[in-house]
Each structure stands twice: as C-alpha cells, then as structure tokens.
C-alpha cells in the first residue's frame, strides 16, 4: 500500500467524521448513520475509493474500537448502579432476547420458511450493535433512567444473545441428526474464555492502574489495557466485546482509588469510532439487499415486532415507568457485526443453506444498521431524555 494513500485516506476519513459530527447536530440525524452511509458511498458498493488494503485495517480498527466500547459499557455496570436499576437491565434484556428469538422463529415458520432457516435466524436476530446505541446516547447528551437502562441492556444483550444462539444451534444440529458436542464445547469455550480474559486484565488493572498518577489511569495505561484485552481475546479466539465488558465491570467495581477509571478512553475513543463506522459501511454489501427475498423481508418485520413486544413485556415485568415500555424495544434495533459472526458460525455447520442465510443476514444488517440508530434517537426523544 502506498504510504501517501494511507495518510490521505486516514486524514480524509477523520475530517469527514468532523463534518459528520456537525451535520448530525444540525440535522438531528445520528452521526453513526451518516458515517455508515459515507462508508457505503466510498466503499465497493459505491464509488470504490478506498484502497483494497483497508480491509486489513478494518479488522484492527474494529477490534480496537469495540474493545473500547466494551470497557465503557462495563463501566455502566457498577454494583451501585445495578442495585438501583439492575432488575430493569437484567429482566428487560433477557425478555427482549428470548421473545425476539421465539417471535422470529414462529413468524418465519408461519411464512413458510424451513425449520432450520427459522431457528438459525431466530438466534441471529437477538444480536444488537452496542457501539451504535452508545454513540447515539452520547451524541444527544441523553441522561436519565431510560438512557442508563439502555446502556446497561446493550452491555449484556449480546451475552444473552450468544447463549441463546448457541442453544438454538445445538437444537438445529440435533434436529438435523448431527453430532452437537462440538457446538456445546465451543459455546462454553466462547463464554468461559471471555470471562477468563476479562479477569486476567480486570483484576490486576483494578489494583495497579491509576497508581502512578493518583486519581485516574493515564492515557498510556488506558490504551495499554484495551490493546492487551483485544490481543488476548483474539489470540484465544473469544469475543473481545464480552472480554472488554467483563474487564470494565471488574475495574469499575474494584478500583476504588479511581475517580473515573475510563476517562482517558473516552478522550481518545471517537477517532477510532469514526474509522470503525466508516469502514463498517464500506464493508457492507448493498447488493445483498436484493437477495433477501420474502424470508428476509419477513425477518425484518418480525424482528422489529419481537423487539417492540419484548421491550413492552420486559418493562412491565421490571416495573419501568409507563412511557419506557413503548420505546425501549425501538431503541434496541441496531444490528451489526455480532449478527454476521453468528451467520458465519452457522454457515460452517450448515453449508447447504449457508448462501441464503448469509445473504439474508448481510442484507438485513445493512437496513438495521442504517435505520436502527435513527429509531434509537426517536425513542430517546419520545421519553424526553434527548437534549
């Protein structure tokens, strides 16, 4: 890759991020959606302006950005906040995930989909995009019980989703007459490995970080923890999103000598997020929308319905304020990389339907990733917590 192309591309993307930030303020559109749309325009589905080697950069930058997001999401799960709103976070997230899976499965069966396709899409549909949700909250300056609950829900939503997807994958394998011992092992390894990596980073960091300069960890410490967590997670082939969240949870609850243990990550996170969302948009295959067919269109409508019903029932069970139950499901629409990862796992086990499954997942992810942040913004405005 020519060095001048590298610097021109990186500089241009960062400046576009600056313009997008200001455009989002003036138009009230989520900057996540604007950045993704810009990525689509300059990517292979559009003008194809990015050098081919940027595909390699996307993996590095996405791992860094999402691990930072995971650390910050973990910081919202302090025991003090969980005592205040833990019931809401746990109940709503669990109900939304379970009902989304059940409604997608039942709805697709009713539309004439095969049992195998319906059960796999039911698992994939539980995934969300915590990075998009977090950035919409930050962009709007939303503060209040709804925004706090939403941050907590998206923090653990994918953990529930991975568990449900793993169980549904086992059922699908059993129904197809296959050996599913390896699936159970992989599910245990994925979750257990994330806990292990999070603990390996979180416990030492909760004591050691912030000692050199009392009060807060320095920028070098914060970035070093992020890179170590991402590196160990990738090395052990476990979720760096879950690993970072667990590390952040441990640090925020045990590092009592910290005033704001993740303050320096907040300072440097946005440039990485700009690269992540632009390159995520560039990697989306818009042509996949044309391949989703009737099952894909049904999946979009049914997943939306599942989120709305799950949010309404979850809020009722958790005792949320009445206005929250109408909008929490709408705020949980964004869907991104975790869903694609699930589809690729399913593809390994069921190659016969892999092409159709991947086309549906890619096409619907494009729609949910672009429209989802807008719906999150609408939800925040409706509950009166968006500035």
Domains, the chain, ordered by start: 3-382 (1.20.1530.20)
Q: Nearest to residue 150, comparing CAs of 354, 366, 348, 334?
A: 334
pLDDT of the residue at 111: 86
pLDDT of the residue at 304: 92
pLDDT of the residue at 115: 87
pTM over 0.85: no
pLDDT of the residue at 185: 72
d(CA 240, CA 227): 10
pLDDT of the residue at 28: 65
d(CA 147, CA 294): 35
d(CA 62, CA 59): 5
Per-residue pLDDT of the chain (387 residues; tens, 9 = 90+): 577 777 888 888 888 888 887 787 777 677 777 887 888 888 877 788 777 777 777 778 778 887 887 787 777 677 776 676 677 888 888 899 999 999 999 999 988 888 888 899 998 888 887 878 888 888 888 888 888 888 888 877 777 877 788 778 778 877 766 555 666 676 677 778 888 999 999 898 888 876 666 666 677 888 888 899 989 988 988 877 788 888 888 888 887 766 565 666 767 777 887 887 787 777 766 665 666 677 888 888 999 999 999 989 988 888 888 888 888 888 888 887 677 767 777 777 787 777 778 778 877 877 888 888 888 888 888 888 776
pLDDT tens for each residue of 75-113: 767 777 667 667 788 888 889 999 999 999 999 998 888
DSSP classification of residue 21: H
d(CA 368, CA 341): 16
Do 14 and 268 touch, CB atoms closer than 8 A? no
21-42: b or e for each residue (b if 16 or more CB lie within 10 Å)? eeebeeeebbbbbbbbbbbbeb
Q: Which two tokens stand for residue 320?
A: 């949320």
For residue 258, what are the β-bridge partners?
215
């Amino acid at each position: 890759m020519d060095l001048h192309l590298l610097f021109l591309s990186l500089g241009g993307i960062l400046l576009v991020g600056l313009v997008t930030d200001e455009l989002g303020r003036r138009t009230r559109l989520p900057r996540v959606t604007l950045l993704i749309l810009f990525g689509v325009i300059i990517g292979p589905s559009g003008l194809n302006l990015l050098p081919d080697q940027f595909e390699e950069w996307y993996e590095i930058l996405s791992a860094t950005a999402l691990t930072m997001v995971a650390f910050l999401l973990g910081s919202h799960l302090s025991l003090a906040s969980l005592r205040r709103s833990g019931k809401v976070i746990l109940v709503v997230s669990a109900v939304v995930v379970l009902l989304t899976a059940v409604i997608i499965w039942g709805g697709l069966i009713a539309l004439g989909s095969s049992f195998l396709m319906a059960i796999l899409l039911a698992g994939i549909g539980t995934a969300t995009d915590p990075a998009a949700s977090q950035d919409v909250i930050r962009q709007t300056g939303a503060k209040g019980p709804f925004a706090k609950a939403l941050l907590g829900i998206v923090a653990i939503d994918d953990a529930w989703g991975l568990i449900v997807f793993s169980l549904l994958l086992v059922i699908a394998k059993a129904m197809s007459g296959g050996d599913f011992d390896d699936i159970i092992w992989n599910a245990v390894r994925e979750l257990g490995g994330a806990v292990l990596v999070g603990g390996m980073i979180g416990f030492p960091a909760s004591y050691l970080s912030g000692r050199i300069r009392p009060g807060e960890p320095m920028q070098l410490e914060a970035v070093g923890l992020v890179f170590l967590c991402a590196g160990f997670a990738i090395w052990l082939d476990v979720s760096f999103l879950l690993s970072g969240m667990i590390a952040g949870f441990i640090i925020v609850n045990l590092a009592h000598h910290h005033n704001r243990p993740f303050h320096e990550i907040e300072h440097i996170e946005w440039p990485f997020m700009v690269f992540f969302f632009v390159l995520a948009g560039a990697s989306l295959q818009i042509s996949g929308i044309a391949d989703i067919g009737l099952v894909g269109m049904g999946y979009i409508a049914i997943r939306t319905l599942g989120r709305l019903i799950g949010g309404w029932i979850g809020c009722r069970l958790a005792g949320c304020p009445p206005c929250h139950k109408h909008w929490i499901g709408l705020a949980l629409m964004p869907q991104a990389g975790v869903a694609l990862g699930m589809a690729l796992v399913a593809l390994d086990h069921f190659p016969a339907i892999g092409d159709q499954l991947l086309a549906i997942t890619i096409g619907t992810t494009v729609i949910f990733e672009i429209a989802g942040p807008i719906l999150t913004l609408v939800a925040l405005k409706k509950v009166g917590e968006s500035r």
